[in-house]
Amino acid sequence: MKKQLTTSMILLCILTVLTGCAGAPSPTDPAPLTEVTMQFFWTHSNLFAGFYAASENGYYAEEGLSVKFAEAGVDADYLSPVVNGAAQFGDAGADDLILARSSGKPLVALATIYRRNPSAFVALEDSGITRPEDFVGKTIRIVPQTAAHLHAMMKKVGISQDQYSEVSLPSDLDLFASGQADVWNIYTNNFGVVLQRAGYKLNFIYPDDYGVHFYADTIFTNEELLETNPDLVLRFVRASLKGWTWAVENPTEAGLLIQKYKLNADPELEIAKMLASLPLINTGEDFIGWMKPEVWAGMEQTMRDQGILTAPLDITQIYTLQFLEEIYGK
């Protein structure tokens, strides 16, 4: 009887241990991922290929993150979600962030993806228009968001706004062919690709070549997250830059990856746009995502010269190199 009781107690202990083990998490179980939202300034496109790569290649998961991408559209307010915390990170033009900061929005730039701005001016190859001085007496199609680039560039070469005409037209092949404008302000990695694929031979005039430097797509967050959870910010930036590095090294695969996010995407067109983006992202100086204080200061000065920026602003508060330096080293 005593032997039977002992056996029963042993079995009960074993059962208790097994039951306890079944209810306890395994030391090899992965920790739950932290969910964050990335707010885009536009609908899904090649402009965000590196972020897609970071997600699809598992770089965000490696950093303990699960990232949701939020689209924006025409006239959408893509800054407020990051300001109010609905999204933890965003992507916007550096000039947008400067204006937002000057109006009291506590946004901070973390890394710039498009370090060379895709905004440029094109004319037909046989037009004889090859430099800003050739714009005199001509009609220039402008993109409202980048009109300051034109005005600053022309000012650099000593040409006033009354020496040329401006017109606003949509990006349309038929309108380009109509000759309503002699020079078109386009994005080289978007409508510029479309024009070239349509067979047009073009002369490109870049504001960058005339001392007008505007960072384009820039990763940003809000000050509160920056101060309360810098580790989360570091992990997001590190994974995102890893995704962009992969996209630069694998542009064909990155172009094809866009199909998963953009319905009815033309694979060949997306690859061509990705290839056109490479020199804008990987400029051959520093690292992908790197930012220079002198470029930020130059943007502020250009915007003040154009009357776009009038409010007081400490430009050094609009960006931080903290995470880039931690990722790449000083």
pLDDT string in tens for the chain (330-residue length): 444 444 444 434 433 434 444 444 455 567 899 999 999 999 999 999 999 999 999 999 999 999 999 999 878 899 999 999 999 999 999 999 999 999 999 999 999 999 999 999 999 999 999 999 999 999 999 988 889 999 999 999 999 999 999 999 999 999 999 999 999 999 999 999 999 999 999 999 999 999 999 999 999 999 999 999 999 999 999 999 999 999 999 999 999 999 999 988 999 999 999 999 999 999 999 999 999 999 999 999 999 999 999 999 999 999 999 999 999 997
Residue 146 burial class via C-beta count within 10 angstroms: exposed 0-12, middle 13-18, buried 19 and up: buried
Domain ranges across the chain: 34-116+214-328, 119-210
Same fold, 34-116+214-328 and 119-210: yes
What Å distances lie between residue 290 and 28, 324, 327, CA to CA? Answer: 36, 7, 10
Query: How many of the other CB atoms lie within 10 Å of CB of 30?
Result: 8
CB 326 within 8 A of CB 234: yes
Q: Quick one: angle between helices 49-56 and 267-281, nearest 10?
A: 100
Query: Domain spanning 34-116+214-328 has what CATH number?
Result: 3.40.190.10
Cα distance between residue 58 and residue 258, in whole Å: 16
pLDDT at 218: 98
Beta-ladder partners of 286 = none
Tokens at 235, concatenated = 């992990």
To which H or E segment does residue 318 belong? none
pTM higher than 0.85, yes or no? Answer: yes
Tracing tokens 């430097």 back to the chain, one arrives at 213
Tokens at 35, concatenated = 């969910």
CB 69 within 8 A of CB 279: no
Longest alpha-carbon distance in the chain? 112
Is the domain covering 119-210 a CATH 3.40.190.10 domain?
A: yes
Per DSSP bridges, beta strands 217-222 and 107-112 are antiparallel
pLDDT at 15: 39
CB 50 within 8 A of CB 250: no
DSSP symbol at 88: S
167 closest CA partner among 194, 144, 137? 144
Query: How many of the other CB atoms lie within 10 Å of CB of 190?
Result: 18
Cα distance between residue 66 and residue 30, in whole Å: 13
Cα 221 to chain centroid, rounded: 13
Cα distance between residue 131 and residue 300, in whole Å: 25
Residue 7 burial class via C-beta count within 10 angstroms: exposed 0-12, middle 13-18, buried 19 and up: exposed
Tokens at 272, concatenated = 């061509």
CB 149 within 8 A of CB 117: yes
